[in-house]
Structure 1
Amino acid sequence: MNHPVAHWSRRLEASAQPAYLLIADLIAEDVRNGRLSARERLPTLRELADLLRLNYTTVARAYAEARKRGLIDSRPGMGTFVRGTSPSLPLRGGSGAEMTMNMPPEPADAALLARMHDSAADVMARTDLYDLMRYQDFGGAPDDRRAAVQWLRRVLPDCRGEHVLVCPGIHSALAALVSQLARPGELICVESLTYPGIKALANQLGVQLHALPLDDEGPSAAAFELACKTLKPKALYCNPTVLNPTTTSISPARREALADVALRFSIPIIEDDAYAMLPREKPSPIALLAPELTWYVTGFSKCLGAGVRTAYVCAPSERQAQRLAGALRATTVMASPITNALTSRWVLDGTAEAMVQAIRAESMARQAMASRHLAGRGVLSQPEGFHLWLPLSSSWSVVEFASYLRTQGVAVVASAAFSTDGDPPDAVRVCLGGPLTRNECDDALRLIADTLEHPQHPHATVR
């Protein structure tokens, strides 16, 4: 440790800059030029004060400044160390490597983007613009319904147009369904880890959520049956394919068991299948097992882009579709005719399927990077999905881990956001999509892996 100290002594003697700021600058400089290596142990405060002939307070301020800049980490009983080599990522608009919002990746495919631009321009050129700016009948124009049926028949082969509504996004459909099926104070069964949006909707509408324990096959059918017998739930909500957040999909056997319980107790099912189109091998929806009870919901926010606010609902019957249309009309008036026209064009001419394939390929590439960086960490993921579930070891608390990553420019979501039973596991959700390029995603994953490998951080939980 003498060589950097001697260098610092000469620089301190020759400079008029406050010593505590200069020491932090010197640490940064020596990391850049290789004099200090990642995870190299630095002198203690007392040792450095003696070697540089400075008072203890000045050196303490210097280390505090270096920690604030993310240059070093200190841990009681272990000492002070140079931070790892993974760079912090600059925040864009306060959210840097934005790995909190579960948006699909944006494939760098110039031909596909040109195809989307051309079809969008053609829609606007061939359509009466004033017609798209008027109020529309709720549920979509005839072309929109035709596109919806074509898209839904990929998973619901017998889907009928009179059962289908075109809606302004999945979230609006869920809000209308929850308000229609349950009154304030009544109860809906959900997974113990689930989509945060359903928690927010239930809270807004005064509806109670009853958590069903999760295992590798999905929510417990036995717990659902017990709830049906004792709590009289008004519906079952589930996110059956590539569950947000854990990435698991409900097994065929568990889908059958849940449908059986729902049929025996006449409990409606809200099947939020937002990620249904991502897997090549698409699981059979619960709606095929209990069609008379299931509201099947899917859309384009997770397979085209979050700004494509078009969703489809297949209702159990034509009469129930009309009832839901009334609830949606009261809350959203109508889906955007311009967005619907564009989405319908992409469905009918094959552009939507091409985009799904490109997003699937890009997701697989990013999941491969995650597997490489986070090997041995117990990560839950699906090759064709664009988020992962990362369990944490006892050296980190979940909040500390997420907070620390944010200081380094990487934003992830702590497990409490998804918990409905008040007992969230020690884990975070990491999203790999959105505007991040593949290289930026790789850098962020490397930073996460380095943080897990070398947790000499200022706020680590001491065991």
Structure 2
Amino acid sequence: MTTITAHWRKQLRNTSRPAYLLLADLIADDIKTGRLGVRDRLPTLRDLATELELNYTTVARGYAEARKRGLIDSRAGTGTFIRSGSPSLRLRGGSGAEMTMNMPPEPDDEHLMARLHDSASRAFAQIDFHDLLRYQDFGGTAHDRAAGMHWLRRFVPDAGIDRILVCPGIHGVLTALFSQLARPGELVCVESLTYPGVKAIAAQLGVQLHALQMDDDGPIADAFEHACKTLKPKALYCNPTLLNPTAATVSRARREALADVALRYAVPIIEDDAYGMLPRQTPASLATLAPGLTYYVSGFSKCFGAGLRSAYVCSPTVVQSQRLAGAMRATTVMASPITNALTTLWVEDGTAEEMLQAVRAESVARQALAVRYLGDSGLQAHPEGFHAWLPLTPGWSPVEFASYLRTQNVGVVASAAFSTDGDPPDAVRICLGGPMSREQCDQALRLIADTLAHPMHPHATLRDGNHGA
């Protein structure tokens, strides 16, 4: 039995909804989250019926429903495959509260928007565009890297300009690091709940992910040490501040313990600190605790806007920075000089810091709304972050909860998208940012709370034996 079919069986066991409809929903959800990709082959009807403990007719109806939705293709003699160009599940009418993509809120601040326009206009009026339209050495100009050093100094105080690269987004950095540190079939340790992009990167590169179980302080150090002894991992990937999805932050003591294990077994650390700029106070970075092993990665997609595809990575040594530059050059050629010029300008003139403060302030206001509506439901969040982790009541499974909210024009992400151990908890991630207004956020949170409080509708999973209309 595969991890995916094991997850399907778990969901099907705890539902009163027709199994064939839920099976199609599960396929759609796994396509949306990347657990299933184009041309992935699905089990035969007979094999899937056995694995899911369903009758053959039910599975056949589930596949038929998935075909009707344009999710799969079946061909006699070749099998059933995920369809090329399978449609994502859009909010009805193309609008609504899109709370799936983890984007920072867009501050409603005319002064700040005017500052962005004015500073960019002044900069481009003075820039020699021929310089920006030529090839450049990978990693940015010395001017760009100096701005990166300034931006990172609060987390990596000894960051040197010769160890910093300016890159086209955090995701590209992570892809290059995984490809550089681990060969196909080799293993990288990750949190048992982690950024879905890392799962996609590992699948693309053929790298195996080993899930480290977590407690309230973060990934368990003893589990990491056991993996180091028995599995010889090539790296530890960690999202230590405001973990996507749970919004948890690894404690100082746990960071020290993880760094100690990494140092004793010489395991490189990839510290993805995409959300590290949001809280006013955070524990010491892993890069300061294990400086000779840690690649510290930060960027602007979570503290400025997802469209500012600019990131900084500080490598442990100059030589490792040069090697990483080579790996990134092979896949991305270079970061856009035009984007670099804007980013450097906004770091130097204080615009980036002002935007960070505005994003933080708006996040605080939205988190207060989330606490008002969902605080009594076990909501996990940081007051200065913009995503939250919502454990579900016994009346729901994550897939059904997300599917039902989608029919109400609210999008959230089921826990399976983040799971690396094949056993996701009953929870969903909610993003409070993106293009929706604070008023839209309020309405969506109110609807989510109402759905939790009154799960008596056709899609609800009723585990107490009662049945509602």
Q: Is 1:423 aligned with 2:423?
A: yes
Distance 2:169 2:366 in 1: 26
Deviation at 1:130, TM superposition (A): 1.5
Distance 2:260 2:96 in 1: 46
SS at match of 1:374: helix
CA–CA distance in structure 1, aligned partners of residues 250 and 262 of structure 2: 15
Q: Distance in 2 between matches of 1:122 and 1:220?
A: 50
Identify the residue that residue 444 of structure 1 maps to in structure 2: 444
Q: Which residue of 1 aligns with 2:156?
A: 156
5+ residue gaps, structure 2: 1-89, 464-469
Q: Deviations over 1:68-88 (max 9, x none)?
A: xxxxxxxxxxxxxxxxxxxxx
Once the 2 structures are TM-superposed, how far is the Cα of residue 122 of structure 1 from its aligned partner?
1.2
Q: Which amino acid aligns with 1:341?
A: A
The 5-angstrom pairing of residues 235-384 of structure 1 reads 235-384=235-384
Letter in 1 for 2:452: L
Partner of 1:192: 192
| 1:95, distance to aligned residue in structure 2 (A) | 5.3
Superposed displacement of residue 285, structure 1 = 0.4
Q: CA deviation at 1:247?
A: 0.3
Instruction: Tell me if 1:407 matches 2:429.
Output: no
- Give the TM-score normalised by structure 2: 0.79
Q: Which amino acid aligns with 2:258?
A: L
Distance 1:417 1:342 in 2: 33
Structure 1 residues 156-208: Cα deviation after superposition (integer angstroms, max 9, x where no partner): 11110000000000000000000000000000000000000000000000000
The normalised TM-score by structure 1 is: 0.80
Please state whether the residue corresponding to 2:291 is helix, strand or coil.
coil
Deviation at 1:94, TM superposition (A): 2.9
Which whole-Å deviations, capped at 9, do the CAs of 1:400-447 have from their partners, x for residues lacking one?
100000000000000000000000000000000000100000010011
Q: Counterpart of 2:165 in 1: which secondary structure?
A: strand
Give the aligned residue type for 1:414. A
Following TM superposition, by how much is the alpha carbon of 1:245 offset from its aligned partner in structure 2, in angstroms?
A: 0.2
Displacement of 1:143 in angstroms is 1.5
Q: Distance in 1 between matches of 2:189 and 2:408?
A: 38
Structure 2 residue 459 is matched with structure 1 residue 459: yes
Superposed CA offset, 1:353-386 (max 9, x none): 0000000000000000000011210010000000
State the match for 1:386 in structure 2: 386
Look up the equivalent residue of 1:105 and give its one-letter code. Answer: P
1:462 shift after superposition: 2.3
Identical amino acids, percent of aligned pairs? 72
Checking the alignment, whether the CA contact within 8 Å between 1:165 and 1:313 is kept in structure 2 is yes
Amino acid at match of 1:452: L
Give, in whole Å, the separation in 2 of the partners of 1:253 and 1:236: 17
Q: In terms of mean alpha carbon deviation, does 448-457 or 226-235 score higher?
A: 448-457
Matched with 1:125 is 125
CA positional deviation for 1:282? 2.8
Between the aligned partners of 2:433 and 2:108, the Cα distance in structure 1 is 12
Q: Check the 8 A contact 1:155/1:282 in 2, yes or no.
A: no
Greater radius of gyration (CA): 1
SS in structure 2 at match of 1:174: helix
2:416 aligned counterpart, secondary structure: helix
Contact 2:91 2:407 (8 Å CA) reproduced? no
Letter aligned with residue 361 of structure 1:
A
String of CA shifts for 1:132-165, please: whole Å, max 9, x gaps: 1111111101211110000010211111000000
Residues 418 and 95 (structure 1 numbering): CA distance in 2 closer, same or farther, change over 3 Å? farther
Q: Which residue of 1 aligns with 2:216?
A: 216
Question: What is the alpha-carbon distance in structure 1 between the residues aligned to residue 152 and residue 366 of structure 2?
Answer: 28
Q: Map 1:68-79 onto structure 2 (within 5 A).
A: none
Letter in 2 for 1:275: Y
C-alpha distance in structure 2 between counterparts of 1:422 and 1:251, whole Å: 25
Shift of 1:92: 7.7
CA RMSD in angstroms comes to 1.0
Show structure 1 runs of 5+ residues with no match.
Answer: 1-89
- For residues 265 and 413 of structure 1, the distance between their equivalents in structure 2, rounded to whole angstroms, comes to 36
Distance 1:445 1:439 in 2: 10
Q: Distance in 2 between matches of 1:92 and 1:393?
A: 25
